[in-house]
């Protein structure tokens, strides 16, 4: 499975998706959404 992902990321389309993900990761709104998601997930695991 990991090898298939690595192979995909070497393709031009995979590189484009990687750049889009990096751009989105730098966006403060996306960072906040991710923090909220992680906090909800952690809250569920403690109950």
pLDDT at 14 (0 to 100): 97
Q: Hey, what are 15's tokens?
A: 């590189």
pLDDT in tens, 7-47: 999 999 999 999 999 999 999 999 999 999 999 999 988 76
Q: Report the largest interatomic distance among the alpha carbons of the chain, rounded to a whole angstrom.
A: 44
Is pTM beyond 0.75 here? no
Instruction: In whole angstroms, give the CA distance from residue 35 to residue 8.
Output: 28
Q: Are 5 and 11 in contact (CB under 8 A)?
A: no
């Amino acid at each position: 499975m990991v090898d298939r992902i690595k192979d995909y990321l070497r393709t031009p389309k995979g590189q484009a998706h990687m750049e889009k993900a990096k751009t989105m990761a730098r966006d403060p709104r996306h960072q906040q959404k991710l923090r909220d998601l992680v906090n909800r997930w952690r809250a569920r695991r403690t109950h």
